[in-house]
Amino acid sequence: MEHRGLLVVSFGTSYPETRKKNIEHIESLLSAAFRDRTFYHAYTSGMIRRKLRERDQLLIPSVKEAVQAALEDGVRDLLVQPTHIMNGIENDQMKEDVQSFADQFDRISIGAPLISSTEDQFAVIEALMGELPSLSDQEALVFMGHGSTHYANTLYAALDYAFKQAGHPGVYVGTVEAFPDARAVLSQLREKDIRRVYLTPFMLVAGDHACNDLAGEDEDSWDSIFKAEGYETCCILKGLGEYDGICDLYVRHALQALL
């Protein structure tokens, strides 16, 4: 029987607690869904891999190192599933790294990131809203995405629109590093009679960005910015990898890649 492998690729995090709850949670579910495949994992962030190696003596391979390891183990059929949110810079780079080995495998299948279609957007909305607080007319829920210089960044504004279409008028989506930003979200909130705002990351892990940019003490954190505007705030530090419906979608993408 040909030797088959599963490689789960994440950006990574240096926060052990959220790594277990999110990345390792998804890794274990994918591993269980593909028991006939040898499991491998990789982080795309060199900075995080270096930090884990130096601080925790934890060695997490890069994408190329993980694919090389699978090759050396005799894997001929490799299924790669990213835990990335969208088809952005990290995902493009991951695909390039994996495809550079294409002629050394009999088959390489690559699953789609979390949101790759309109159907995915609505599946994600359903998965999240099933586990988040239901909102009164005076409450809003704001998701903080990472944001990207990649053209895929338009996904965040599209998602904001999709939440409204799905019957969640009090839900907004912004990003830390791109558009729409916190100010863009605030300008929409001003038109409503909102008193209380829930803030939560739209990121796989509730790591550095969630702890500092979202819920940090500094005056430029989203929590501080929204408080300064007079809103009562409540931070929900939960990464996307903690939602069952989100994990199911990653498994579904991996299964679809094999069709």
Of the chain, the end-to-end C-alpha distance in Å amounts to 19
State yes or no: is 3 an active-site residue: no
Q: How far, in Å, are 11, 83, 91 from residue 203 at the CA level? A: 11, 10, 15
> What six digits make up the tokens of 69?
């390891």
| H helices present in the chain, as ranges | 16-18, 24-33, 46-56, 63-72, 89-99, 118-129, 154-165, 182-189, 208, 222-228, 244-257
Q: What is the DSSP string of 124-158?
A: HHHHHHTTSPPP-TTEEEEEEE---SSGGGHHHHH
Give the count of beta carbons closer than 10 Å to the beta carbon of residue 229.
15
Residue position matching structure tokens 């994408």: 63
Q: How far apart are CA 240 and CA 114, in angstroms?
A: 10
Q: 3-class secondary structure for 166-193?
A: CCCCCEEEEECCCCCCHHHHHHHHCCCC
Closest by CA to 112, choosing from 138, 94, 97, is 94
3-class DSSP state of 12: coil
Marked catalytic residue, from 146, 150, 209, 253: 146
Catalytic residues: 146
